[in-house]
Amino acid sequence: MVKSHWAILIAGLSIIQAIPTAQSAGQAPPGSTASLIAEVRERVETDRLEVRVYQGKNLVQLAPHMELFVVTPLSGSSRTVENLAERSVAIVPSEKQPDRFEVYQDVWIGRGRDLTLADNVFKVKQVLLSSHRTPIEVRLDGQILRLKPGDALLVL
């Protein structure tokens, strides 16, 4: 009986070790599914009294959110950013430029040294892509933030 419990314990430990976790952004191991898709241009302070978002001239109803980020997709990643709704992303400091943040998709949350922390991972609730035809404006207590064509507003 004791031998069978030890066998189950050893098998369980080997399975746990096989569960993949991605290391923080730039340190993801080869073969990891985490991929850099955008750079954060601006974090929108949502603790203001009034936050309104317009796409073209239409007021956009925002999903209940914790964070708003203006991001610039990397070349070739516009479609990926556009399809982020209901997916998880990690927003982490850039290793090359410590004053900038980067957006990664398909990131596992892990524990321990050099792993992505849960407070860096967000579920994307809405994505609003700015274009010449339908520019995005964020109005914050009278101030206006205009997104450049190609930039996206991530509602997290």
CB distance 150 to 133 below 8 Å: no
pLDDT at 134: 95
CB distance 140 to 48 below 8 Å: yes
**pLDDT surpasses 60 at 16:** no
Q: What digits encode the pLDDT tens for the residues 39-87?
A: 999 998 777 668 899 999 999 998 888 789 999 999 888 888 999 999 9
User: What is the strand order of the sheet 88-93 is part of?
Assistant: 121-123, 88-93, 101-105, 35-44, 68-73, 152-155, 126-129
User: Amino acid identity of 34?
Assistant: A
Q: How far is residue 138's CA from residue 44's CA, in Å, rounded to a whole number?
A: 9
SS3 26: helix
Mean pLDDT of the chain: 77
User: Which of 40, 34, 23, 21 lies closest to 156, judged by CA?
Assistant: 40
Q: What digits encode the pLDDT tens for the residues 93-149?
A: 998 888 899 999 977 655 443 445 567 888 899 999 999 999 999 998 888 999 999
CA distances from 52 to 44, 47, 145, 147, 153 (A): 12, 13, 10, 14, 12
- With tokens 């809405």, the residue in question is 126
| Secondary structure, 3-state, 55-122 | ECCEEECCCCCCCEEEEEECCCCHHHHHCCCCCEEEEEECCCCCCCEEEEECCCCCCCCCECCHHHEE
